[in-house]
Chain A
Amino acid sequence: MSRLLVFVTLAYVTGIAAGAYLPLKPSLYLVAAMPVWLGWNLWKKHRGPLTLVPCFILFLAAGSLAFNLSLDRVHGRLQEYHHRRCTLVGMVADEPLLRDGSVVFPLALQRLQAGGREEAVSSTVRVTLYQDGGKKVVPVYGQEISVRGLLVVPEGKRNPGGFDYRSYLETRGLSAAFYAEARHLSVLGYGQNLSVVRRLALETKEKMAAVLQGQLPPAAGGLMVAMLFGERQALTAAVEEGIRRSGVAHLMAVSGLHVGLLAAILFLLFKRLGLKGWPACLLLVSLLFAYTYLTGLKPATLRAFIMLALGAVSLYLGRRKDLPTAVAAAALFTLCYNPLLLFHPGLQLSYAATISILLFAEPLQRLLLQGFARLSPPSFSPSLQEYGAGLLAVTTAAQLGTLPLSAFYFKEISLIALPANLLLLPVMGLLLGLGLFVAALGLVLPLFASLLGLAAYPLLMYMLWLTETLGAWPFSLRQVFPPRPWEMAVYYLSLLFIAWIARKGGSLPSLWALVREQLHRIRLFHLLAAILLILLPLSWWGRPVFSPLPLEVVFLDVGQGDAIFIRTPGGKHILLDSGGGPVYQDDLERAGRLVVLPYLQYRRVKKLDLVIVSHPHEDHYGGLLAVLAQVPVDLFVTNGQEVEGGSYQKLLALSAEKGIPRKILQEGDRLLLEPYLEMTVLNPPARLFMGTGSDLNNNSLVLQLRYREVSFLFTGDLEDAGARQMLARGLVPSSNILKVPHHGGDMAAFAAFLDRVEPSVAVITVGNNPFGHPHARILSLLEERGIQTFRHDRHGAVMVRTDGYGWKIKTMLSPEPAQAFLLRQPAFARGVCS
């Protein structure tokens, strides 16, 4: 290994990535043994392959330990206050972010009071302060405040393909979310723990931003501030949309372009002033750090800073700088500072782009120049050719590196990113230089600054015009299904392979020679190992590759509400209810937008063959408004109950507008969906219930889905009256897996109902609710009968797979609220038909 730092960093990064799966104690011992090992090596002057392996293992262990420790440190002891109202006392740890109707800021806790008990705590939480009309309450960075509200420690991902709020907070060093109303906040004064430097940096930045925004029209000024300081919230919504659609959003993240430009300006300035040697080097590095600090120490900025600082030191030392080592040093430093940043999309995108540029920019440029040479007369300005080829090569390389990641995180890719970047990058240097100059000058000489600010105006207008025009093209942005992890792995491995070929020579004949040379090196042992590696996973799946697909029934966790996704053995997609209110009264579609649609994208569902709404209650159909708007549907089934006005009518109107045929089902209807797959309707009766406790609930569609010998019973929000009538008429079939009616609400006839169904597994679709669901009696009845019970509030989404004879159940969350990092591991269950 010629680049030791790269090697060590790879080991450390692997350790962090695998941190959740590596045992903690051995890691601890290994890291404790590290100084001994280092000392021994130094003493013996040991070198060679044998020391590389322990070196890798040690840094792997260090990574895993760093991951687990920082996770522990982030979480502190807040877990026990999950979902409790408490009063927090602490310091506002950063500038608040202004949103519509709310203010968001991190709060570094000092004390926590709940239930008459007070405890000293030391984690940081993310506070969302809702503005209740009247005067807007915006706390200031560094203020000590006391605030009363609800503390939520989010679990990991609750749904496949869903948003992992827990790790989102973790990577930002936050342990929990806290929701409060502005009137419950009181300011206690300025905290003592306030970092003077940070305060100064923020104030300077604010002043600079004010200078820029004061001299330019709002859209242009916002753009300038966003580019200089990486503050996307300074953009107006329309501008941001255009920038996102044209794929130049990376310009709003302070990274190599920005810091590099500043470094170049300072370098030239120092040269002019005759400043050199270590004072120049030190000054340059500290000024670059000041800028990095000013923009909030974001991962991409930190990476650029470390790489440039190493470059400056290499100039001073007269040593050759090595870019791969510089990237590794940046990664190692950043991840020692906070290991959880590895899971930060910003960091991943930044490093993917950088590494890809390192690997591909040069060979691509060579290729392009060759192409140019064929196309144009050789006399055509060679320096311009070089510049163009370089620009195109760097942009293409960066796109290559970040494509799957942005598809994964944003579920969209910009198809015009390449031309947009080519048109914008050339003016970026001038624009950033001018902006920085104006901002700095404006602090001292406002008049000059305003003149210079006018000079930047045409460039800003050009940028605004370009992003707006390009972004307006309908084909500029394409929604994509997020790639799966293994697909990304294959993509990146092939990129690395191509890079390797490009390094080794490039042309096809030489490639073939290379492959032959490598083939000669292969020994029987390698072949055997490869075959084993391919066979092992196959044997783990434990089934032949070409057997029919299993039936999948997924109870998505939409909180209090139903959303059940069915994938038939024939590959058809059915959605039974789609979540919604009443928890999110204000935003009916929320569950559809945040849970169901992401899940459908994750499953790459292009079309739903059948959508069923069990009954017209918001927590069952609300999310469908979002789903219908985006996904084509073949057939829409309801229970025939009509409700006056409101959102349900909106839903029916939407389905009519989309031209989706609607069908009303009732007791006695049977749908033979596929061979061996049958859906039977058991409720409502032909004459709908009238005058029961809740007609809407009792008229729920009750469906039995049977695949060969395994059957599911979906009961909607059936209540006592409905259940009694079904029992009386002998319409309750025995089923293996029961969706407990009405989110586990009380039902007098439930014992009799259960005795008829005789389920092995029960699923309660319950979330946080004011109705006392699930009812204690229901739970004890299930427990008495030894029925395995899953509930959304404990398990997250519940996924059932069956081949028609037995079933396997997987949940997203493990029910034991054990140590923090164990929460990530899901629970498994298996069952067979008796």
Chain B
Amino acid sequence: MSLLQAILDLFFPPACPFCGKILATGAGAAASPGGTGEKLPSALPGFGEGGILCAGCAAGLPWLENCCPRCARPLPEAEKVQECRRCRAAPPAFDHCCALGSYTGALREALHRFKYNGARGLAVPLGRLLAARLSAMPWLGEVEALVPVPLHPRRQRERGYNQAALLAVAAGRELGIPVRAMLRRNRETKSQTGLDRQGRLENMQGAFCCDAQPGGGDSGGDKGTGLKRLLLVDDILTSGATAHAACLALRQAGWSSVSLAVVAR
């Protein structure tokens, strides 16, 4: 934690991103052992340290525990660890999807504040939570960079920030993986809300383009690592249309393996 963060934490003490309860941090963290309690889901290792969220929310949030590894859709008990029927029928452009929870309840409210109410500070706890979930993924070792889904420049000016980029930075810092904004919006798209699945897919078609080739000269100094996987980061996965289009753009640029990480679906 940088000095600036420490000072900011002093004046704006870190609160649980979901219920707003002030967390025990700093000098007093060890006073309540484990910080955030013992009732954490097993799939979320390391949540206790540093106090990202309060024990009540850790126990009560709609975490996704048993879901399709390809698209993170919840699975019935029988189909453990296998791809769901839909993915088998029509595979999405990404190889895996890692989602923190379902887009309901407190998670939905938090994301709403994060996206629409200017609560950009939520990027840090959400990103760290996402990182904690990601670190349990077997394919994480292959990931070369995190790629945030871009906003159209005008939209970003209006909002003042790109929530996916903030998330990627926070998660990348936690995981020690660089963040590379290699996607761009080709054109301005209509809002996805109010469209059906087909409409959304059409709406997003060709919306993105990618600037960097794998092993390309402009991509910086990580040549020769042998890792070729990219991890696309977004806040919410609904129909998968946006992610699908972004992944297609990456694949067209030559990236053969792309995974997806979202906070909620």
Contacts and interface: CB of A to CB of B under 8 A. Distances in A.
Interface of A: 1-5, 7, 47-49, 51-52, 55, 276-277, 310, 313-315, 317-322, 325-326, 329
A669 B22 CA distance: 75
Interface string B105-121: 00000000000001111
Given A277-B160, A317-B121, A47 B28 contact: yes
B121 A322 contact: no
Interface stretch (B6-14, B56-64, B66-74, B224-232): B6-14
B159 to A, nearest CB: 10
B122 interface: yes
A49 B12 contact: no
A329 B11 contact: yes
Contacts, number: 78
Nearest to B121: A319
Contacts of B11: 5, 310, 313, 325-326, 329
26 contacts: A1-B31, A2-B24, A2-B25, A2-B28, A4-B28, A5-B11, A47-B29, A47-B30, A48-B29, A48-B31, A52-B28, A52-B31, A276-B160, A277-B160, A314-B12, A317-B8, A317-B12, A317-B121, A318-B120, A318-B121, A319-B8, A319-B12, A320-B121, A325-B10, A325-B11, A325-B13
Nearest to A326: B11
The interface centre, meaning the residue of A7, A47, A49 with most chain B CB atoms within 10 A of its CB, is: A47
B15 interface: yes
Interface in B76-134: 118-123
A2 B23 contact: yes
B199 interface: no
A321 B29 CA distance: 20
A38 B121 CA distance: 27
B1 to A, nearest CB: 10
**Across chains A and B, which 4 residue pairs bring their CB atoms closest together, nearest first?**
A318-B120, A319-B121, A48-B30, A1-B28
Nearest to A46: B27
Contacts of A7: 28
Contact of B26 (A47, A321, A326): A47
Nearest to B118: A318
A347 B10 CA distance: 23
Nearest to B22: A2
Given A2-B13, A325-B13, A329-B11, A320 B20 contact: yes
A193 to B, nearest CB: 34
Nearest to A316: B118
Interface in B1-60: 8, 10-13, 15, 20, 22-31
A313 B10 CA distance: 13
Nearest to B15: A320
Contacts of B27: 1, 4, 47-48, 51-52, 55
Nearest to A55: B27
A319 B23 CA distance: 14
Contacts of B30: 47-49
A308 to B, nearest CB: 13
A1 B121 contact: no
Contact of A5 (B13, B20, B160): B13
B162 to A, nearest CB: 13
Contacts of A1: 24, 27-28, 31
B34 to A, nearest CB: 13
Contact of B12 (A52, A55, A276, A322): A322
A319 B124 CA distance: 10
B24 A325 contact: no
A211 B161 CA distance: 44
Interface of B: 8, 10-13, 15, 20, 22-31, 118-123, 160-161
Given A4-B13, A322-B12, A315 B118 contact: yes
Contacts of B20: 320
A47 B32 CA distance: 11
Nearest to B28: A1
Nearest to A51: B27
Nearest to A50: B30
Nearest to B117: A318
Given A47-B26, A52-B28, A317-B8, A3 B13 contact: yes
A199 to B, nearest CB: 32
A214 to B, nearest CB: 43
Contacts of B24: 1-2
A320 B23 CA distance: 12
A326 B15 CA distance: 14
A317 B5 CA distance: 11
Nearest to B122: A318
B45 to A, nearest CB: 21
Contacts of A276: 160
Contacts of B12: 310, 314, 317, 319-322, 325
Contacts of A2: 13, 22-25, 28
Contacts of B13: 2-5, 322, 325
Given A2-B25, A318-B121, 9 more contacts: A2-B23, A3-B13, A310-B11, A314-B12, A317-B120, A317-B121, A318-B122, A322-B22, A325-B13
A5 B13 CA distance: 9
B123 to A, nearest CB: 8
A318 B24 CA distance: 20
Contacts of B23: 2
Nearest to B26: A4
A119 B161 CA distance: 62
Contact of A49 (B26, B31, B161): B31
B3 to A, nearest CB: 9
A313 B8 CA distance: 10
The interface centre, meaning the residue of B11, B20, B26, B29 with most chain A CB atoms within 10 A of its CB, is: B11
B11 to A, nearest CB: 6
Nearest to B21: A2
A1 B24 CA distance: 6
A110 B118 CA distance: 53
A277 B31 CA distance: 38
Contacts of A310: 11-12
Contacts of A51: 27
Nearest to A310: B11
A614 B119 CA distance: 76
A1 B161 CA distance: 33
A320 to B, nearest CB: 5
Contacts of B123: 318
B119 A320 contact: yes
A318 B119 contact: yes
Nearest to B158: A276
A321 B118 CA distance: 13
B58 to A, nearest CB: 16
A319 B8 CA distance: 9
A319 B117 CA distance: 11
The interface centre, meaning the residue of A3, A4, A47, A320 with most chain B CB atoms within 10 A of its CB, is: A320
Contacts of B22: 2-3, 322
Nearest to A45: B1
Contacts of A318: 118-123, 161
A322 B15 contact: yes
Nearest to A8: B10
B141 to A, nearest CB: 28
Contacts of B118: 315, 318
B124 to A, nearest CB: 9
